[in-house]
Structures are given as structure tokens and as C-alpha cells.
Structure 1
């Protein structure tokens, strides 16, 4: 990776040098290199952080969240209730609640977790 960057920088520097043509100089401008986004280092946060969803996005997120449980109907009910309040659903089918504190910290009357 560092070798590619060095080669790219060398190419840009060489392109910016003056080209001499019969006693006068002509300046050649190279296009400005744009930073490359590295998608494997970026962590998507849409839908998993508090307030990042629209209310209409709760259904599909909860369907995915509750996809592996044997208790789909109550899971969907509480997931959608939590999503409507917090506007987020943690990633995956279980756990990962730390990404959405509202979802994580909402408790039942008995003190258990309200959101699946």
C-alpha cells in the first residue's frame, strides 16, 4: 500500500514539472488526487445508533432482529415498540445493545430488559 502511494506521489510530482519546448515553458497541471475511502474500515451506523432510523424503517429492522427467535410475535411487538421510541435497532439477532443505549436501558417493571 505504501509503495502504491509513493508511486502515485512520484507520478504527480513528475506531472507538475515544467515541460520545456523551444525556449518557453509550458506548465502541465495534474488532476488533484482524491482521498480513497476504505470501505472495510468504515463501520455502518445507520439504524444501529440512537435516532438514526425513520419510524417506517422499524419493521424491516425488527424482522431481521427477531428472525432467529422461537417467540417471533412478542419479539416483534417489543422490538417495534422500542424502535418507535429509540429510533434504532441493534445489529444482528441478539446482543449488540451497547450501540443504542435507549434500547438497552429500557426495563420492564421487574427490571428485566424490555427490548429484545
Structure 2
């Protein structure tokens, strides 16, 4: 079985996107759960909790940039 350069590049791009997608989903789940628990105690931290929940999405952007650079 021969591996072509184009095939390995496509596989590398897929791994970069999928890996960062899973990492972002896991981080968002953990932070979202903690944010909801904290908002039950104190409703005034909604803005901070929202920002912290959206922050892991930047991980996917980094993966997209790496895939484009490959």
C-alpha cells in the first residue's frame, strides 16, 4: 500500500479538525456544567459564565488554521 502526499495531507487535516472539535466539545461540556451550577448559586455571574462557555470555540479555530496551513 502506497501513501501519497495528498492522502497524508488530507489525513493530517482531518485529524487536526476532528481532534480540536472533540477537545472543544469536551471543554465546553465541563465549563457549561460548572457555569450552570455557579449560576444557580449566584445569578449575577451570567455574563462571565457565558464568556467562559464560548471561549473553548477558539480551539476549533486554531485547528482550522493548522489544517489550512497543512
Short-chain TM bin: 0.3 to 0.5
Instruction: Choose 1 or 2 for highest CA Rg.
Output: 1
Give TM-score, length-normalised by structure 1: 0.24
Q: Which has the higher helix share?
A: 2
Q: Which has the higher strand share?
A: 1
